[in-house]
Amino acid sequence: MPLPPSFPDLASLDLFSTVVSLGSVSQAAAAHAIAQPSASARLNNLERQLGVTLLERGPTGSRPTPAGHLVAEWVEAVLRSANELAIGVDALKARSRGRLRLIASYTIAEYLLPAWLSRFHRVHPDNPVELEVANSAEVVARIRSGRTDLGFIESPTPATGLSTVTVAEDELVAVVAPTHPWGRRKAVDAERLASTALVLREVGSGTREFLEQALAAAGLGAPIPAFELGSTAAVKSSVAAGGSPTVLSRLAVEADDAAGVLRMIPISGLPLRRSLRAIWRTDRSLPAAAASLLAQLQA
């Protein structure tokens, strides 16, 4: 059945949904980056097109009428379907161009993916690669959304509902400046580490999550943050400048240790070896380029 010529546009439906969610036309207008008079005009036009009053407007905000409540529920379904359409079309375009869409956590993106993609490019020189970098929690969310084909995470938490396979192994180590009191130690024990304020990655980082779980399993509680930083590079710079110790991937620190910029110290009494994993949607087959990269990593 064809839609009537007066069927409202998706932008107006999306705006109405935002007003219902926020309770304010002005806030909804700001969220959509349009002027409030334009937002009001769109909403008035939407009511004319549908032939029902959707909102009760007052000095303290706007709320849906009884009819507006029903329409808001139907609009949510329409917007979900439109979003699925956009995701699906984006995926089809990426597949047709043979594009490899990846997202990886920081350690994997910085220290492993360059070599992996170099080998991939030698075999598939005509396949462009689109790479995003985020912490492990964001990688999982992005894969679930369907906007990226293949992700790589450091987090130990099971990626429920996603397919997963181990692609590399890693180990966490304590890291200090060479002049730090720990700098001459052959190892630092887990109890001392747990009682020391550390420079930590942000919440959602796979490295931080793995350390938190390892300390909790040993009955040592959560790590004590001296402060939190949003990237491995920022953490290393802070430690190298004489700041508090940290715990990072051995992959991220080996070159700095060899150059004498930082010092890696094993942590005794705490199992810190971890698996680095690839993840993807179970309900979708991997595009040929992503499947080829995954096969290469498992060979």
**CATH classification at residue 293:** 3.40.190.10
Q: Taking Cα atoms as reference points, which of 154, 160, 173, 99 lies closest to residue 278? A: 154
- 113, part of any domain: yes
Count other C-beta atoms under 10 Å from residue 70's C-beta.
13
For residue 221, give the CATH number of its domain.
Answer: 3.40.190.290
Does the pLDDT value for residue 67 go beyond 90?
A: no
Whether residues 159 and 179 share a domain: the answer is no
* Residue 284, domain member (yes or no): yes
Q: Express each pLDDT in 127-182 by its tens digit.
A: 888 899 998 989 999 999 888 999 999 988 888 889 999 999 999 999 999 999 99
Domain that holds residue 50: 10-94
Same domain, 154 and 280: yes
Q: Is residue 2 part of a domain?
A: no
Q: Name residue, tokens 């549908």.
A: 50
Q: Is the pLDDT reported for residue 92 higher than 70?
A: no
Residue range 177-209, pLDDT digits in tens: 999 999 989 999 999 999 999 999 988 898 999
Same domain, 89 and 132: no
Lowest mean pLDDT among 5-9, 242-246, 268-272: 5-9
Given a cut of 80, whether residue 93 has pLDDT beyond it is no
Cα separation, 213 vs 223, in Å, equals 10
Condensed to tens digits (0 to 9), the pLDDT of residues 240-265 reads 998 899 999 999 999 999 999 999 99
Q: Which of 81, 114, 113, 66 is nearest to 13 (CA)?
A: 81
CATH number reported for the structural domain that contains residue 31 in this entry:
1.10.10.10
SS3 (DSSP) at 64 = strand
Q: Given this model, what pLDDT does residue 26 score? A: 87
Position 5 in a domain: no
Tell whether 118 and 202 lie within a shared domain.
no
The whole-model pTM stands at 0.64
